[in-house]
Chain A
Amino acid sequence: MNSSTTSAGMGFLADEGPRRGLMAWLTSTDHKRIGILYLWSMLAFFMVGVGVGVLMRLVQLDTFHHLVTARTYNALFTVHGVIMIFLFVVPGLPAVFGNFFLPILIGAKDVAFPRLNLASWYFYIAGAILALLSLFTGGGAPDTGWTFYAPFSLQTGTNVTLAVFAAFVLGFSSMLTGINFITTIHRLRAPGMSWFRMPLFCWSLYSTSWIQILATPVLAITLILVMLERLFGIGIFDPTKGGDPLLYQHLFWIYSHPAVYIMILPAMGAISEIMPTFSRKPIFGYTAIAFSSMSIAGVGSLVWAHHMFTSGMSEFANMVFSLLTMIVAIPSAIKVFNWVSTLYKGSIDVQPPLFYALTFIFLFCIGGLTGVMQGALSINVHVHDTYFIVGHFHYVMFGGTGFAFFAALLYWFPKMFGRMYSKKLIIAAWFPLFVGFNMLYFGMLVLGMQGMPRRYYEHLPMFHAGHQVVTVGSWLLALGLVIYLVALIWAARKGPRAEGNPWGGVTLEWTLPSPPITENFEEIPVIDHGPYEFRKGGQHG
């Protein structure tokens, strides 16, 4: 099946049915097409976010300091956060690769609710449009930071109401995707595809979907309350009316901390697919990885108040949340251990996806360890709201999720588009990406340790040198991103045709032609072995 059907057609990429071109894409309920719709829209927003980020860094250089006013700077970091969090990292891997590969990996023809799936994409686009509208209408771009903390978010004259509504709509999209995936995994596994024969990416999507379902509604109601507060003045978060802004922080983080696991879990799942394929060896500790995903989802829902150690909570609450934060590091460490052990005695083939996946592990470790540092109360009170925090979460969100996204895209690109990219160009992109990334964010860790507060438009002369290094890093990083994206966009259009199984993977997607046909399988497969068996049962030895 591999060789015979690979180069023949363009699979699902070719229009079937009455509609052609763009309309055929915008009305398609094929999970693969929806995944690709997400991919392009998300990358577009990502590049906007990158642009805003580079501009913010530029402003920290003396020469360009007066490019924007202090107030615009506030809007910039808010917009950067809102775009990156709500339009890129949260939907990130589930919406693109989850949509495209979840049904294929469990041997199904589509997700459980294909029309709802398309509706989720429209909610996503509607939310994105609202978010962009909020920048130019009303009182102008919101200047609260992406966290919309009360009471400032209730008082500022900028267009917080619309921005918050945009986040609400985006949350709806994310929630519906979660419902869809859980139902899909429960109901549409192929015959013989038992829970523990599912590839680990499916496990990570499963745990992610539960967080999406359990946490997003709390954010939704919090944002509704902010809107009601601004429109009608109900007073719940407003201290002048007897409300309590701390309640806002709690409700906000009850969603937004689990949300960081929405962002990282699918990334970990993708890495768990890449490691065995390029080690030609079953993943080490399958069950441990599967259960660590679930326990991250569980414990991760109980650590939210570690964002609030300096907000005046009780000592006791601080200690409890500090302890829980330490505990949530354990399942993440289990995963890192298992990925590295998978390489041990494997027959390692260093292809671009593995290269980026290893980078993920390295950067994620720095992000994770700095996270444990901040979980300790004694350190947290000193680095709270400094560049250290900014450095830390960029290591996790960008070094972690971002690089895993890049790795996953490199891994599955030939399957999605039926074409291969230039491996040399992708490796060439890695150098500026990696060097720039570490200059930028390790520089931030150092600046934060020295006491540079986050979100400040001005900085003291003692931070000059640090800011220069960090800003130069941002240029290198942006350069690397451009090379990476240009290589892939070119490959999607003009790249040489890819085989059905260019990497020698053994999960179900590699049994299909590249790109797969509409409805994936001509005949639903019957599964009689685990996901990573390279010797028996798999396609390649």
Chain B
Amino acid sequence: MVEHRDDFGSKLGMWLFLVTEILLFGGLFIAYSYMRARYPVEFHHAGAELNATLGVTNTFILLTSSLSMALGIVAMQRGQELWSRILVGCTVLLGLVFLCIKGVEWAAKFHHGLYPDSARILTLPQGERIFYGLYFSMTGLHGLHVIAGMGVLSVMLVMMLRGRIHPGHYTLLENGGLYWHLVDVIWIFLLPLFYLAA
């Protein structure tokens, strides 16, 4: 049997998967907008508590990682496999930096007793509790997606090293890139909703 190969088909499948991811977060965005309409003042106060500097820094890091991902694919298209590996490697590392900063932020919140169901959070007005509930759910789920994306790209790296992905056949790398860009795009929406809510 001749190996069946349909690059367009596999990209179509990936785009459909991305649609499901957007709708997954879509449910959370609905919850957010409803709750924000219900508690505008509380969301304003709680949003002021977040560290916007760290949030914006993280945005730059993720955008840069998307750039290095895109460049990695371009390098692959041009047959510069070494560059491609380096750039995809950079993407994974930037993802790690993002997670570290996120970790610092979460740790600070926990340190201040701001986590779901904590003694302090139960003393806050209801709207602020909901704000933090959404903050931890949405950034947490996004964080899981970053980890998943790093996992996917690491697999891509291994496949590149083993010659399974090469300039003649790199649809998988493009699909991995699409996933990474999605993770990036979702963050771009999370930033204003939480960090710039105040």
Residues of chain A having any CB pair with chain B under 8 Å: 109, 112-113, 116, 175, 178-180, 182-183, 186-188, 213-214, 216-218, 220-222, 224-225, 228, 232-236, 241-244, 247, 250-251, 254, 519
A233 to B133, CA, bound (A): 8
Whether A175 contacts B116 in the complex (CB less than 8 A), given A183-B13, A247-B31, comes out as no
Q: How far is the CA of A106 from the CA of B125 in the complex (A)?
A: 59
Q: B95-138 vs A: 1/0 string, CB under 8 Å? A: 00000000000000000000111000010011101101110110
What is the bound-complex CA distance between A216 and B19, given in angstroms? 11
Sorted from nearest, which 3 A-B pairs have the closest CB atoms?
A: A242-B126, A234-B133, A221-B27
Q: Is the CB of B26 within 8 A of A112?
A: no
A183 in complex: contacting residue of B16, B25, B30, CB < 8 Å? B16
B20–A213 touching, CB < 8 Å: yes
Q: Are A217 and B23 in contact (CB under 8 A)?
A: yes
Determine if A113 and B34 form an interchain contact, defined as CB atoms under 8 angstroms apart.
Answer: no
* Contact A242 to B127, CB < 8 A, known contacts A217-B23, A224-B141, A233-B117: yes
**Contact pick for A236, options B8, B10, B137, CB 8 Å:** B137
Contact-residue size bin, chain B (C-beta under 8 Å from the other chain):
35 or more
| CB <8 Å contact, A213 and B27 | no
With A214-B19, A234-B133, A236-B130 known as contacts, the answer to whether A112 contacts B141 (CB < 8 A) is: no
Indicate which residue in A187, A220, A225 contacts B31 across the interface (CB closer than 8 Å). A225
Partner of B23 from the list A113, A178, A218, A234 (CB cut-off 8 Å) is A218
Q: Does B3 contact A (CB under 8 A)?
A: no
When the two chains form their complex, are residues A236 and B134 in contact, meaning their CB atoms are under 8 A apart? yes
Contact with A along B21-52 (1 / 0, CB 8 A): 11111111011001100110000000000000
On whether the beta carbons of B129 and A242 are closer than 8 Å, the reply is yes
Q: What would be 24 A-B contacts, judged by CB atoms less than 8 Å apart?
A: A112-B6, A179-B16, A179-B17, A186-B9, A188-B6, A214-B23, A216-B20, A217-B26, A218-B24, A220-B27, A221-B25, A221-B27, A222-B27, A225-B28, A225-B31, A232-B136, A234-B117, A234-B134, A234-B137, A235-B126, A235-B129, A236-B137, A241-B129, A244-B35
- Please determine whether B13 and A179 come into contact, CB atoms closer than 8 angstroms: yes
Main secondary structure of the interface of A (DSSP, over half): helix
Which single residue of chain A is at the shortest CB-CB distance from B124?
A242
Report the bound CA distance from A236 to B126 in whole Å. 10
Query: A175-B20, A183-B13, A247-B34 are known contacts. Are A232 and B116 too (CB-CB below 8 A)?
Result: yes
Once the chains are docked, how many angstroms separate the CA of A214 from the CA of B30? 15
* B86 at the binding interface (Cβ < 8 Å): no
Q: Do B137 and A228 touch (CB < 8 A)?
A: yes
A188, A242, A247, A519 pick with most chain B CB within 10 angstroms = A242
Q: How many angstroms between the C-alpha atoms of A243 and B116 in the bound complex?
A: 13
Question: Contacts A217-B24, A217-B26, A241-B126 hold; do A234 and B136 have CB atoms under 8 A apart?
Answer: yes
B1-19 vs A: 1/0 string, CB under 8 Å?
1001010111011001101
A186 near B27 with CB under 8 A, answer no
Q: Please, how many angstroms separate the alpha-carbon atoms of A254 and B4 in the complex?
A: 38
Chain B residues with CB below 8 A from A217, complex form: 20-24, 26-27
Q: A235's contact among B4, B19, B26, B133, by CB below 8 Å, is which?
A: B133
Q: What CA separation (Å) do A161 and B9 show in the bound complex?
A: 37
Instruction: Give the shortest distance, in Å, between A73 (CB) and chain B (any CB).
Output: 32
Across the interface, do B13 and A113 meet the contact criterion of CB distance under 8 Å? Answer: yes
CB-CB under 8 A from A183, the residues of chain B are: 9-10, 12-13, 16
| Bound Cα distance A186, B116 (Å) | 45
B-side contacts of A213, CB under 8 Å: 16, 19-20, 23
Give the shortest distance, in Å, between B33 (CB) and chain A (any CB): 11
Report whether B130 and A235 are in contact in the complex, using a CB–CB cutoff of 8 Å. Answer: yes
Distance in Å: Cβ of B3 to nearest Cβ of chain A: 12
